[in-house]
Chain A
């Protein structure tokens, strides 16, 4: 593992503002053979914890957004392959090895805002340019765990607290709000089990 050094990337020649050999932000640790490409990779990376983003060996992170807030932590195993995925993290995303995430899929471990209407007004003010130093209300956050060998299709969405068992197959466009058993195949909004992987 190397820490805080620049990494090789696979940005297409001529792509505007690609993450072309830029320095990695602090708190990022990459294994050997791991590539990160894309202009958005660290645009919203505001992590403050040590080892906020740790990726294993031989992973390919093509056009992935690592949107990590101060307390967030993302852990990704070996040989993972994500294409233009959006990872929104305020707490914890724990992703195993050999996980594939398709184009434009998103994963979030937070609701980002409170559910109740009164709390949402308080939050809207606190988030506004006029809300300096106002405390934000409590927001529901729960870690997302994705075990080894999971396949997540393009345009799928995984919400907070979801645990996806090893080898599961998430069909394109699925909205996953509940745990998925190992090797299950799910589809729909909300995602329902439609079978098992062979």
Chain B
């Protein structure tokens, strides 16, 4: 990152917001990821040592939102819709077109949505949103989330779990289990001997 918080390789003429804390070893592909970023928290996003945030990741964060990426996290084109808190643990892998949402942004009630859509015309970027409840998402360490998954508000995913491609996760996932489907269900659990790397694994 340059002193004025730009990225030398960036295709987008943006800068990294002041309240985004990138470890110096972390990689961020483009500041376009912050196009919908509007959190005002002092440490709104933390990206830990050795983590990568590739093209297409969008940090769609409301004013009070916080997102934490641990160490060695690998993230491709995920859409992070967050108004409270989303935490992702070390070594977790998040693949393309994954949606992580801690809230629905608009009320279930149609008349409330009409009001929000009319109000959106006056807002910056015509943003359509309303006061709706948010439930934080916690993704443990060593979790792998496949293509096109949706992780719904309030979901906790335990360490070492795998979420199969195109799953929609509506309930908590126990550590070291594999879930798949829409809605996601348990497919199997990892055996104890599968849970730890053999020997010294990482840099």
Q: Are A and B physically bound partners?
A: yes
B128 touches A100 (CB 8 A): yes
A104 touches B110 (CB 8 A): no
A98 touches B113 (CB 8 A): yes
B182 touches A174 (CB 8 A): yes
**Shortest Cβ distance from B118 into A: residue:** A79
A149 at the A/B interface (Cβ < 8 Å)?
Answer: yes
| 8 Å CB interface, A121-139 against B | none
A171 touches B168 (CB 8 A): yes
| 8 Å CB interface, A158-198 against B | 166-167, 169, 171-175, 183, 185, 187-189, 197-198
Q: Which of these, B110, B126, B183, contacts A197 with CB under 8 Å?
A: B110
A167, B112: Cα distance in complex, Å? 11
Residue from A35, A153, A155 with most neighbouring chain B CB atoms (10 Å): A155
Number of residues from A at the complex interface, CB < 8 A: 38
A33, B104: Cα distance in complex, Å? 25
Q: Which of these, A16, A60, A154, contacts B101 with CB under 8 Å?
A: A154
A153, B182: Cα distance in complex, Å? 14
B109 touches A173 (CB 8 A): no
B148 at the A/B interface (Cβ < 8 Å)?
Answer: yes
A15, B14: Cα distance in complex, Å? 10
Chosen A-B contacts, 11 in total, with CB atoms closer than 8 Å, are: A12-B35, A100-B113, A104-B97, A154-B81, A154-B99, A166-B110, A171-B152, A173-B150, A187-B183, A189-B166, A189-B168
A75 at the A/B interface (Cβ < 8 Å)?
Answer: no
A151, B79: Cα distance in complex, Å? 18
B190 at the A/B interface (Cβ < 8 Å)?
Answer: no
A173 touches B168 (CB 8 A): yes
Binding site for A on B (CB under 8 A): 11-14, 32, 35, 79, 81, 97, 99, 101, 104, 106, 108-110, 113-114, 117-118, 120-121, 125-126, 128, 148-150, 152, 166-168, 170, 181-183
Interface of B is mostly: loop
Binding site for B on A (CB under 8 A): 10, 12-16, 33, 35, 58, 60, 62, 79, 81, 98, 100, 103-104, 148-149, 151, 153-155, 166-167, 169, 171-175, 183, 185, 187-189, 197-198
Within the complex, the shortest CB–CB distance from A149 to chain B, in Å, comes to 4
Q: Which residues of B contact A58 (CB under 8 A)?
A: 118, 121
> Contacts A81-B120, A174-B182: A155 and B148 contacting too (C-beta < 8 A)?
yes
Within the complex, the shortest CB–CB distance from B97 to chain A, in Å, comes to 6
A175 touches B32 (CB 8 A): no
Residue from A104, A166, A183 with most neighbouring chain B CB atoms (10 Å): A104
Within the complex, the shortest CB–CB distance from B120 to chain A, in Å, comes to 7
Within the complex, the shortest CB–CB distance from A142 to chain B, in Å, comes to 23
Not counting A98-B113, A173-B148, A183-B110, a sample of 4 additional A-B residue pairs whose C-beta atoms are within 8 angstroms of each other reads: A14-B11, A166-B110, A175-B182, A189-B181
> Contacts A15-B32, A173-B166: A154 and B113 contacting too (C-beta < 8 A)?
no
Report, nearest first, the 8 A-B pairs whose CB atoms are least far apart: A149-B110, A189-B182, A14-B13, A173-B168, A172-B150, A173-B150, A167-B110, A197-B108
